[in-house]
Chains A and B, each alone.
Chain A
């Protein structure tokens, strides 16, 4: 079947531009053929001014979005360069609207700029080159209250720096922030390169970040070592650092990593959490801590006000795409600090990518996961969706349940445990993580496969003990509740079985998969068990779309009505 044709995908024979890999569409999306000889060249061009939106197997979709163009402009790219770049890779003539829009958007970068006012560090000057934008800003009641006219621009208090940037981005004009950043208290810190060797892309990303003024976002896939990037940046800048993470578990992992890979001692790296609120040269806290209201400080957020008063020279935002909305507002207060955002994707479920751009900074560096997979820096993952019939005794209950109850019945399908047992048996020599959302089946699963189970109620000490045993190889199977979703650093795991899903949450799915992406021989395998013909199958479809758009290979297999059949039969791929 596959040898029968043809001339090339999206073929345009007899055209001199045939050798070009990209098709540029009127909505500023760019389709790039991965197997085309011109792919590498085109990808290099697009990396400068387009976001990678989807990267399924054969065709990647980029988008020349406004933010991507402003990122490019911030990096010094001109409209001519972008247009010529697109022409150079485009198989067909550029749609006329594209050139116009690119020139318009890039022309907007630099129209508004924030600068220092000599002799007055508490005030900033906002210069606006276009009268239309000036009038628009002056007409906005909320913003007008924060600024006062001054010649061709406005003066504003330094603490309103973030708000003004947000407001201007909201009307389509990014602010070129040239105002000073607080140097921060110095910190003697170096990377322990005797213990690890940073990957070249990690060094490059730090270099790009620092050269661009030390505020912006680095985009690396899960498992690519974003923590290392942050540590290298801390070492490069040598300043006191506040690290904000997604939760306590992640915070502890950060601390462990920093202690292991830098010259800092136990006292230098502190956790600012609910139980212990230590502040040190490097302090690690969580978004939820910062968002907690209370106190009489300037922002009426106790912990934020407490931490904001420290002389941080760098603030690190882990998983910046998860930055909760209240923290955005608080982040606006931290505009005078160097800011490093770390993420696997700039796409936010709430669509607030613009706020990340305005408040953290433009994207400074990114590497698609496929490249790292090719180079062996992250593991090659294969995803299997295994369909399991709903247990006979549960069918009536499911049929008569309310829509609210149905996901739980499907998720707790007892027949999944049999399938899990067979998977574990098949992967006898592997390190297997089992993750699920419902606790009862997790207990059953743990009992069936003889593995410890960690839930939210497991004491921290026990958790650490199990994690350590897993890393050391003493335990080869571990069952986790949702606590395992984020930042559990178990790089040895190479098989993950999700026995109940994430209600279709794309981020959660990606995070779970990320647990097994650390490079290892033989790659990684991700199983998700889905109860057939139930709402779970529908939710699995959303996750399937997300994972395939990310470029993972995804197979769907039916385990049959009974438990006798082996996954992977019926002509499907052979399971690992």
Chain B
């Protein structure tokens, strides 16, 4: 839809305007406001059709004339639109305009001027999944190239003539800082963020600003280069190495040997992506402005208010292993890395030497503890000595080599390997296995036993290849801790084969009619069986897995509650099992602690939804539940399975969605069913059932809870009035004339009379 097309001056709408607008915006709806276009495009009277409009829009002569009187701000808008692939979201323009000192109103004037000259058009763009729309400032298709040729580079600043001095690389410092948790204990809060007191200690030791350090660690956690080990922050060496490589990877493509303004590179990088993905383009833009000037091998300077970069001639070696020579290992066990050192080297050194000063020269100290920390991160002595050897152009002093060797020898730590234990039927079978497994064999404690570092499936395959088929289960020696801390632990992947998946989908209805287990996991299983939308299924699959794990401790915990709370918790778990998602996502230790601390259901809910909430944002289930589509589909579909829930709560087989609940017969005692015969129902199921009974005029048995205990009452449907969370019983019990109203959660179950006779 055209946003606005008004023109100053006397020209009114002409017959060609409509044709012109249609040519410009074939999908546009509101043509009423489109006036004066034909005049602006200098279309002759009577001219019409796409061809005429295209010719007019692309006329170089017209464009040259139109550009001539335009103000600088308008030219900047046109240049930016051209640089970003032909169009730019107006809000982005506003943000970028601030950088060049252009206020919002001035920007409007600039855009209007360009629109008035038919050099840009503003269209409304609606993006998928979001209801908001955004204005998109676009160059006309016909003419865009001609406009771009004339405006691109118009605002590019002149590069400097002099060569400034190179600065140090913040990436070097950042990587070095991220190694600090290897040497300083940094505790994590319950929300798995660095503890301020720990940070204060580290920041004090380095004379660093605590907020800067905290931001660095947050960023490290977000990027996955920092994790948790034994409750403390710890660097993840491999992730850090990847991080370094990724950051530096893009440089070579964009930075030449001549000074180039950062903005120009940013526009180029963002422009490639902008039309397809403004988000990615923004990221490219930001990356360029923030990371490029600090990337090794890139020199920067400030000139007339602009930042320029260029590649350092013969800059640092791209391969850190070649060494930079920009440092020293001193005999007094210090490692100094100069401003020109390769950031990767700072990282490698920092993993086993403690960073003690961040300045032009990074200073690290080799200590017994630092080397032990490095060893515990998986670095061996040879690696450490090799890294030291790359630091400078001098050999590592003799005493340093010996001392580091001493330190490494004295390091105390345990490495927990995921391994499979294979017990072969004979020595000969073990030999064949060992031969096939090659370097995967860790150790052979006995002639028939082999410790293997390989996945179970891989081992089984290799065993089969070796002609030694696996018999029985291969025992894993994987220590529970090997699963890693919460921040590093991935939820189990579910990647069924397509055929299996197809079979599963085909039989899901049948699955739903098989009797599930009682309890929350049964409910979730039923939901899963009934659900058809993929986001919901993905979420429920994970939820089911987690609930199966949690169900037992949950039951134990419920036993510690008083009766009311117990029933309430049970009802809540059965009615809304996914409400316990935060609890499900906790690591076992934290979950057990939460159970231990929560003496009531309310306390449990508060703990799992309040203080811990943020820590689950990154977990898989959390992400799934937060996905807007999943959420919507979930709530749409969940209403369809509510009857199934009610039945499941009774311990009955889950019905297919849409079919009436089946009920089984029971014996009566004193003319009415026992309370135990009316299995507890979830609140939602109860409400639904009561509504159903009222609407169908069915007599009901109600199992209610009061101070005097539980009992079963007999009511006519017209005596039931449900109002909000209240169930009001009008009149009296048909048999004992009791007249009460109960809150809904005091009504445990409802059943139609007569169900008891279907024995």
Residue positions of A touching B, CB distance < 8 A: 1-2, 4-17, 23-27, 31, 54, 56-59, 92-93, 95, 385, 537, 541, 544-545, 548-549, 553-557, 572-573
Contact = CB atoms under 8 A, between A and B. Distances in A.
Interface in B187-243: 207
Nearest to A549: B332
B395 A23 contact: no
Given A11-B325, A13-B340, A554-B399, A6 B393 contact: yes
Interface in B260-315: 299, 312-315
Interface stretch (B27-35, B356-364, B666-674): B356-364
B398 to A, nearest CB: 5
Given A27-B207, A57-B397, A59-B336, A10 B326 contact: yes
B330 A59 contact: yes
Contacts of B326: 6, 9-11
A5 B322 contact: yes
B582 interface: no
Given A549-B332, A555-B399, A27 B357 contact: yes
B693 to A, nearest CB: 79
Q: Size band of the B side of the interface?
A: 35 or more
Given A6-B323, A10-B361, A14-B166, A548 B340 contact: no
Given A9-B328, A54-B332, A31 B361 contact: yes
Contact of B323 (A5, A13, A57, A549): A5
B92 interface: no
Give the interface centre of A10, A24, A541 by most chain B CB atoms within 10 Å. Answer: A10
Interface string B387-424: 00100111101110011001000000000000000000
Contacts of B361: 10, 23, 25, 31
21 contacts: A1-B395, A6-B324, A6-B326, A6-B393, A9-B338, A10-B338, A11-B324, A12-B165, A23-B339, A23-B361, A26-B359, A27-B359, A59-B336, A92-B360, A537-B406, A548-B330, A548-B399, A553-B331, A554-B398, A556-B402, A557-B402
B752 interface: no
B54 interface: no
Interface in B330-373: 330-333, 336, 338-340, 357, 359-361
Contact of B163 (A6, A14, A27): A14
Contacts of B339: 10, 12, 23, 92
A73 B299 CA distance: 38
Contact of A541 (B207, B313, B340, B403): B403
Contacts of A549: 331-332
A5 B330 CA distance: 18
Contact of B331 (A2, A24, A56, A541): A56
Given A9-B328, A10-B327, A545-B332, A2 B340 contact: no
Contacts of A92: 165, 339, 360
Interface of B: 163, 165-166, 207, 299, 312-315, 322-328, 330-333, 336, 338-340, 357, 359-361, 389, 392-395, 397-399, 402-403, 406
A236 to B, nearest CB: 38
B338 A23 contact: yes
A25 to B, nearest CB: 4
Given A1-B389, A54-B332, A545-B332, A9 B166 contact: no
Contacts of B359: 25-27, 95
Nearest to B340: A11
Given A23-B338, A24-B360, A537-B406, A9 B392 contact: yes
The 9 closest A-B pairs by CB, nearest first: A6-B325, A548-B331, A10-B338, A556-B402, A25-B359, A548-B332, A56-B330, A549-B332, A554-B399
Nearest to B162: A16
B334 to A, nearest CB: 8
Contacts of B398: 554-556, 572-573
Nearest to B322: A5
Given A9-B326, A13-B313, A554 B340 contact: no
Given A11-B338, A556-B399, A5 B325 contact: yes
Contacts of A548: 330-333, 397, 399
B389 A544 contact: no
A554 B400 CA distance: 9
A554 B331 contact: yes
A93 B167 CA distance: 10
Contacts of A556: 398-399, 402-403
Given A1-B389, A548-B330, A555-B398, A15 B166 contact: yes
Given A6-B393, A9-B325, 15 more contacts: A1-B395, A5-B322, A9-B393, A10-B327, A10-B339, A11-B338, A12-B338, A13-B314, A15-B166, A23-B361, A56-B332, A59-B336, A92-B339, A548-B332, A556-B399
A404 B411 CA distance: 24
A305 B500 CA distance: 102
A557 B312 CA distance: 44
A49 B283 CA distance: 49
B360 A25 contact: yes
A369 to B, nearest CB: 15
Nearest to B392: A9
A489 to B, nearest CB: 29
Contacts of B399: 385, 544, 548, 554-556
Nearest to A54: B332
Contacts of B332: 54, 56, 545, 548-549
A10 B166 CA distance: 12
Given A1-B389, A2-B393, A11-B325, A544 B403 contact: yes
Contacts of A93: 165
B339 to A, nearest CB: 7
A9 B395 CA distance: 13
A57 B359 CA distance: 22
Contacts of B328: 9-10, 58-59
Give the interface centre of B323, B326, B357 by most chain A CB atoms within 10 Å. Answer: B326
B370 to A, nearest CB: 13
Nearest to A24: B360
A57 B402 contact: no
A9 B393 CA distance: 7
B312 A14 contact: yes
Contacts of B394: 2, 9, 57-58
A58 B330 contact: yes
Contacts of B313: 13-14
A452 B398 CA distance: 35
A545 B333 contact: yes
Contacts of A24: 360
Nearest to B314: A13
Nearest to B325: A6
Contacts of B323: 4-6
A12 B393 contact: no
Contact of B393 (A5, A13, A544, A555): A5
Give the interface centre of B331, B333, B389 by most chain A CB atoms within 10 Å. Answer: B331
Give the interface centre of B315, B338, B389, B393 by most chain A CB atoms within 10 Å. Answer: B393
Nearest to A7: B325
A541 B332 CA distance: 10
Nearest to A572: B398
Contacts of B392: 9, 58
Nearest to B337: A10
Nearest to A5: B325
B371 to A, nearest CB: 12
Nearest to A17: B165
Contacts of A544: 399, 403
A150 B392 CA distance: 61
B325 A8 contact: yes
Contacts of B357: 25, 27
Nearest to B401: A556
Give the interface centre of A1, A9, A24 by most chain B CB atoms within 10 Å. Answer: A9
A548 to B, nearest CB: 4
A203 B253 CA distance: 64
A555 B395 CA distance: 14
A551 to B, nearest CB: 8
